[in-house]
Structure 1
């Protein structure tokens, strides 16, 4: 059997950890379960990651990196409002397409917040920095200026609305979420229309009402020092 390169094996273990965390939570994500999910001997996991703390630190870095990649891929290089809308749509679709990753993010952020509230903001800081840099670059390319306060508010609105959408999606797991995505984007459009002055605001789209939920009635420091505080017991 061909030997799997160490970097590839590490990534397989990180991917397996995301799946196990999504299914069993952080407390249930034992190294044995993670190794079994990756199809690797437990000794291999301990060879790749000297401790569970290092593995979970790598999972955090992986998720922050994926979040950044999704935002960059969703950059439509338009004016401020058009770009912001593109970033939001990209995030919402990513959550829908990757429910295991979304579940793991919710689990990890909640758990990390209990470990160390100040440093648990690493993933959010990464996302907010990426949103800011994209908006500043696209504003300049479009001949616009965006003040610091508006920039901060836009980054905040994008992350808050996207997080709320993700949690709702994880609860109900509806299929064919286009109406819900359009409705959520409509909230962003309304905020931008009311708050962006000369920021290239887009016309609010005509959105369909969200479908009733099943069973319902009709009608965020960098990650460099992460492993120094992670304590998984």
Structure 2
């Protein structure tokens, strides 16, 4: 049997740790379970990682890298509104297709907040920096005069909406409902952008030409759409 290179084995163990954390939580992610999930001898895990803390540090790096990759993949290099909408939709669809990964992120962030250090902040700060760079690039390309505070607020809104969706999806696990809620969540972003940016991106599926819509009309339309999701029965 061919010997697996150490770097490849480390990557397999990190990915296995993410899957184990999703099911058993951080406290239940024992080295034995992680090794079994990776189909590797326990001795191999201890050879690759001198301590469990070293493994978890690499898990955080992996999670942060995956999040940045999703953002970069969904950077459409368009105007600010279209770019923000694409980032949010990309994150929501990623969480929908990678439920275990979302569970792992929440577990890891909760665990990290109880430890010394700033690993959870690192994940968020790197995600914010990536998202902000994409939106700043869109602002420059479109020659929009948006101030730094507005870009920061938009970055926060996209992050908060995606986090809320991820948690709701983990709790209820209703895929049909989650698919509808993607549209609702993007609609919330549209309403915020209509009120704060003065423009809002049209849904990607809507390719028919339309007359320009005023910010006030766009905001009112989006708010009506949001209210329509609220049932009383």
TM-score (norm 1): 0.85
Describe the SS at the equivalent of 2:78.
coil
The structure whose RCO (Cα within 8 Å, separation 6+) is larger is: 1
Aligned counterpart, 1:175: 175
Q: Distance in 1 between matches of 2:61 and 2:162?
A: 20
Aligned counterpart, 1:153: 153
Gaps of 5+ in 1: 213-217, 220-233
Deviations 1:88-132 (A, max 9, x none): 000000101001100000000001011137553111001100010
Q: Distance in 2 between matches of 1:131 and 1:114?
A: 27
Gaps of 5+ in 2: 203-217
Q: Distance in 2 between matches of 1:173 and 1:161?
A: 17
Deviations 1:159-189 (A, max 9, x none): 1111010000000111233321000000000
Aligned counterpart, 2:92: 92
Report the Cα offset of residue 35 of structure 1: 0.3
Deviating beyond 4 angstroms after TM superposition, the runs of 4 or more aligned structure 1 residues are 203-212
After superposition, the CA RMSD in angstroms is 2.0
Aligned counterpart, 1:48: 48
Aligned counterpart, 1:187: 188
Larger radius of gyration: 2
Describe the SS at the equivalent of 1:26.
coil
Q: Distance in 2 between matches of 1:184 and 1:108?
A: 24
Aligned counterpart, 1:5: 5
Aligned counterpart, 1:20: 20
Aligned counterpart, 1:202: 201
Deviations 1:54-75 (A, max 9, x none): 1000000000000000000011
Number of residue pairs matched by the alignment: 212
